[in-house]
Amino acid sequence: MRDLSGYWKINLFDEPAMDKPREVTHSTFSTDFHVTFGMFTCFDIMWKEPAFDLVNNENVTDFVFPTAWFSQLPFLSGN
């Protein structure tokens, strides 16, 4: 197995005391089947950065998105 890219999580869940990075970096990697994937982790999906920026500024349409998902209405209802 090899590393494809690195990613620093931006929006920590329920951690208001933690510092946010000064600069948001976008992580992408390209495959041999000609798809460029954007990466973000867990709670980052709830915020504009990095997902929105990857779609609008870097034309990414596919994502790798590891998460510890849970169901909680009304906003996070995934079964």
Separation of alpha carbons 79 and 12, rounded Å: 23
| Averaged confidence pLDDT in the chain | 78
Does residue 50 carry a pLDDT above 70?
yes
Q: Where are the domains of the chain?
A: 1-11+30-58
The pLDDT tens digits of the residues spanning 52-62 come to 889 998 889 99
Q: What is the pTM of this model?
A: 0.66
**Which residue would you say has higher pLDDT here, 31 or 19?**
31
DSSP designation for 44:
G
